[in-house]
Amino acid sequence: MILIVEDDTTIANWLRVFLEEEGFTVEVANDGRTGLNLARSLAPDLIVLDLMLPLLDGMELCRILRRESDVPIIMLTARAGLADRTRGLDTGADDYVVKPFDPEEVVARAKAVLRRVHDKVQQRLSHGRITIDETTRRVTVDEKPVNLSRTLYLLLATFMRHPNQVLTRDQLIALAFDDDFDAYDRSIDNYIFRLRKQIAADGFQPIQTVYGSGYRLVTKDE
């Protein structure tokens, strides 16, 4: 869902028509305070935000939204100066469109921003109490960082990509490591023993042994 916060009703309705034609659900607010309330209650996927708004201006609204969430924001403004663009982006906007504009440009930018957000989300895997960021290779358990060696990280990432699936030792070697990795099936047992020790917390242990088959990452109580 896309929230448009724009006091010019002609522009707001114009954008709404074009976005709805592309299949988006759209809500409109005509002042900053209403925009803030709708952003909090509706949790939109994207906000198209005018800079000059009554009751609460776009810059301040952008600052508030950025403190409260990471919702993507495209800022609309008649101010074309570099300083104004820089200020808008520094405030937390993800993109900046100068008036007058073609509504198809805003639609294209909205799609691009949403694609970037989707790709970023796809790079983070979270199951139960474990989260990994595949871009930075950061691992957290209960939001606390866990430092893993490259080998243990690759094993955990493989489990996270195949939750609740039983993986044999041969499958783990094939999925986690490249052809240069010098391992045999029983050496995986040692790596998994070490991995379990490092991600365990308060009796929490999601990697189960499936006797006679292999291992699996359990993401729910069974």
Domains of the chain: 2-122 (3.40.50.2300), 124-217 (1.10.10.10)
Alpha-carbon distance of 30 to 5, in angstroms, equals 6
- pLDDT at residue 125 in the model: 82
Alpha-carbon distance of 161 to 169, in angstroms, equals 16
Question: Which of the residue ranges 146-160, 168-182, 198-212 would you say has the lowest mean pLDDT?
Answer: 168-182
Helix (H, G, I), strand (E, B) or coil at 50: strand
Is pLDDT at 88 greater than 50 in this prediction? yes
- pLDDT at residue 118 in the model: 66
- pLDDT at residue 42 in the model: 87
Dihedral angle computed from the Cα positions of residues 170, 145, 91 and 80, in that order, rounded to the nearest 10 degrees: -30
Is pLDDT at 12 greater than 90 in this prediction? yes
Average pLDDT, the chain: 84
Could you tell me what percent of the chain has a pLDDT over 70?
A: 86
| Global pTM exceeds 0.85 | no
- pLDDT at residue 113 in the model: 85
Is pLDDT at 50 greater than 50 in this prediction? yes
Largest CA distance in the chain: 68
Question: Which of the residue ranges 70-74, 122-126, 128-132, 176-180 would you say has the lowest mean pLDDT?
Answer: 176-180
Alpha-carbon distance of 89 to 111, in angstroms, equals 18
Residues with Cβ within 8 Å of residue 146, at least 6 apart in sequence:
139, 140, 198, 199
Residue 176 corresponds to which tokens in the numbers above? Answer: 């986690």
- pLDDT at residue 179 in the model: 56
Span 157-181, average pLDDT = 82
Are 77 and 36 within 8 A, CB to CB?
Answer: no
- pLDDT at residue 222 in the model: 43
As a residue count, the chain comes to 222
Is pLDDT at 185 greater than 60 in this prediction? no
Residue 149 corresponds to which tokens in the numbers above? Answer: 């060696």
Summarised one tens digit per residue, pLDDT across range 96-122 is 888 888 888 888 888 888 887 766 555
- pLDDT at residue 86 in the model: 62
Is pLDDT at 126 greater than 70 in this prediction? yes
Confidence label for 221 from pLDDT (cuts 50, 70 and 90) = very low
Strand 124-127 versus strand 73-77 pairing type? unpaired
- pLDDT at residue 195 in the model: 93
CA angle at residue 117 from 111 to 122, to 5 degrees? 125
Please give the DSSP secondary-structure letter assigned to residue 175: H
Residue 119 corresponds to which tokens in the numbers above? Answer: 């790709």
